[in-house]
């Protein structure tokens, strides 16, 4: 029930921006005498912009937003054996659920990277609300351009072709001893699998290192 109400809360949070825009337009309509067609065309335009930055761009750049199920978050981090002195990156951090759990349940530091400004806004809000700013940072940007050389653990829930494109970057940049890559659903070919939960499709890898 608790996790369901959290999911409802995150859906509502994503509706805050479009609903606020609709409210502002409605107020303008009554106070400035704007017409109903103006209201609907402005809202339609706004919806197109949101769909573009929040659906189309992530899809084209790596993967659409599909959150990891809440019941799997703890399982993933436990299987990774995440330690409190380690730094985890979530490439494509969505609403921040992985980085938040890494910091609040495992005491580690965590960095989330996401290209979608709405989800970055929401996840930063959650991080502040939970007073985790000293341990969690959210970067807005393309994870292909983020240096990962200080990572101990990299988590990904993306797509097979995005994992393939990231593989050589991870091999070059992940040089810390005992670094691991954890991927939900999608694989990395040619890397040693350290631990796996095939039922939930979680695989913890030791990435091959290249100089």
Ligand X SMILES: C[S@@+](CC[C@H](N)C(=O)[O-])C[C@H]1O[C@@H](n2cnc3c(N)ncnc32)[C@H](O)[C@@H]1O
Binding footprint of ligand X on the chain (CB under 6 A): 58, 61-63, 65-68, 90, 92-94, 97-98, 113-116, 119, 142-144, 157-158
Nearer to ligand X, 93 or 108 (CB): 93
Strands 192-197 and 202-206: antiparallel
Nearer to ligand X, 166 or 179 (CB): 166
| Residue 138 beta carbon to ligand X: minimum distance, rounded to whole angstroms | 11
Considering only CA atoms, which of 57, 80, 83 is closest in space to residue 155?
A: 80
| Residue 147 beta carbon to ligand X: minimum distance, rounded to whole angstroms | 14
Distance CA 176, CA 117 (A): 30
| Residue 171 beta carbon to ligand X: minimum distance, rounded to whole angstroms | 18
Nearer to ligand X, 9 or 24 (CB): 9
The answer to whether the Cα torsion of 84, 87, 91, 97 is positive or negative is: positive
Nearer to ligand X, 106 or 157 (CB): 157
| Residue 40 beta carbon to ligand X: minimum distance, rounded to whole angstroms | 28
Nearer to ligand X, 96 or 207 (CB): 96
Residue linked to tokens 């072709």:
161
Nearer to ligand X, 58 or 207 (CB): 58
Helices (H), 33-88: 36-51, 57-61, 70-80
| Residue 114 beta carbon to ligand X: minimum distance, rounded to whole angstroms | 4
Determine the residue with CB nearest ligand X. 92
Distance CA 150, CA 164 (A): 21
| Residue 176 beta carbon to ligand X: minimum distance, rounded to whole angstroms | 21
Considering only CA atoms, which of 95, 89, 155 is closest in space to residue 124?
A: 95
Strands (E), the chain: 87-91, 109-114, 136-140, 153-156, 180-184, 192-197, 202-206
């Amino acid at each position: 029930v608790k996790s369901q109400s959290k999911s409802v809360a995150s859906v509502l949070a994503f509706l805050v921006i479009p609903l606020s825009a609709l409210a502002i337009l409605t107020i303008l309509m009554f106070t400035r005498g704007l017409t109903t067609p103006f209201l609907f065309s402005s809202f339609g335009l706004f919806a197109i912009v949101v769909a573009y930055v929040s659906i189309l761009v992530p899809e084209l750049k790596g993967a659409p937003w599909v959150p990891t199920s809440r019941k799997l978050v703890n399982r993933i981090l436990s299987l990774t054996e995440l330690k409190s002195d380690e730094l985890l990156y979530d490439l494509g951090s969505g609403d921040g659920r992985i980085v938040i759990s890494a910091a609040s349940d495992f005491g580690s530091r965590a960095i989330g990277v996401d290209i979608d400004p709405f989800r970055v806004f929401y996840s930063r809000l959650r991080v502040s609300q939970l007073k985790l700013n000293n341990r969690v940072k959210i970067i807005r940007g393309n994870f292909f351009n983020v240096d990962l050389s200080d990572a101990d653990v990299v988590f990904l829930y993306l797509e097979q072709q995005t994992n393939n494109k990231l593989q050589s970057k991870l091999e070059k940049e992940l040089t810390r001893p005992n670094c691991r890559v954890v991927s939900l659903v999608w694989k990395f070919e040619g890397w040693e699998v350290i631990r796996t939960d095939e039922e939930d499709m979680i695989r913890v890898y030791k990435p091959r290192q290249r100089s």
